[in-house]
Amino acid sequence: MTLRKTISRRASDYLVLMRFEKPIGTFLLMWPTLWALWLANDGSPHASLVWVFVFGVIVMRSAGCVINDYADRDIDPKVARTEQRPLASGRVSTKEALGLFGCLCLIALLLLLQLPAAVWPWSIPALTLTIIYPFMKRFMQAPQLILGFAFSFSIPMAYVASGALFDQSFYLLLVANIVWVVVYDTAYAMSDREEDIKIGVKSTAIWFGSADRHVLGVLQLIFLTLWLVLIGNKGLDPSLYVALFIAAGMFVHQQVLIHKRQQAGCFQAFLNNGWLGGVLWFGLILAF
């Protein structure tokens, strides 16, 4: 194998380890970041601020995927869906994975330094949650709650970077996003429930048991209600109600997809949330 092919293959393995071929996680982390930037800046965030956060999301989502696979390096080889991942299959070593994680964190630090100093302390708990989340599925029944906080930390960081106060709209958005993360990651976990039970991994899909669809329905309703209150509290243009109505329809569609608890349907319900977040962001753009 030539040097060029070797480098190309290694780069490809690293990109797969960072899930570059599966951008859904980036979108799910991106949407609440953009929601927060638009709300904190009354619809007119500075372009430089937006780009720093966008690149930060891409880098930190990649770092999260790497550390997740490192944490699951002994579990992934036992699961058909994950056995061919670079770390699980041995194409990438643990040292390489940790080195890649360190490089991504360094890039994130360089991006962080472009933001106001008031934002810097917030990066510490954000990074801590990124690191500990993959390990929590071994110890707690609802690791999705930890993921909810991890995937919501860009919200306070966006507000602080914008010089905005933590007002009622901020707290409504924060809680709504945590609820949303539990919704879509439970749907994702439902697609892996049988294998997770076999290998002893915990999740809300297992914890909720036969009530899973009903619990998700309640959480979806809470998410929509929080957004309704947020719209009224912020005095946003009623056009945002259209986006929220579309989001409600998408939740109904997700309930149809998970109704029989089939793996493909549950996974499609999870993916559907990538579009839902975009619909709400587009609605926010029009609402200001």
- What mean pLDDT, rounded, does the chain reach? 94
Q: Is the pLDDT of residue 273 over 70?
A: yes
Q: Is the model more confident about 236 or about 221?
A: 221
Which of 82-91, 133-142, 167-176 shows the lowest mean pLDDT across its residues? 82-91
Residue 5, pLDDT score? 65
Query: Is the separation of the CB atoms in 169 and 39 below 8 Å?
Result: yes
pLDDT mean over 169-185: 98
pTM of this structure: 0.95
Predicted confidence (pLDDT) at residue 1 exceeds the cutoff of 60:
no
Per-residue confidence (pLDDT) for residue 75, from 0 to 100: 83
Amino acid 81: pLDDT:
77
What is the band of 6 on the pLDDT scale with cuts at 50, 70, 90? low
| Rounded mean pLDDT, 254-283 | 97
pLDDT given for residue 220 in this prediction = 98
CATH architecture of 10-287: Orthogonal Bundle (1.10)
Residue 10 confidence class, pLDDT cut points 50, 70, 90: confident
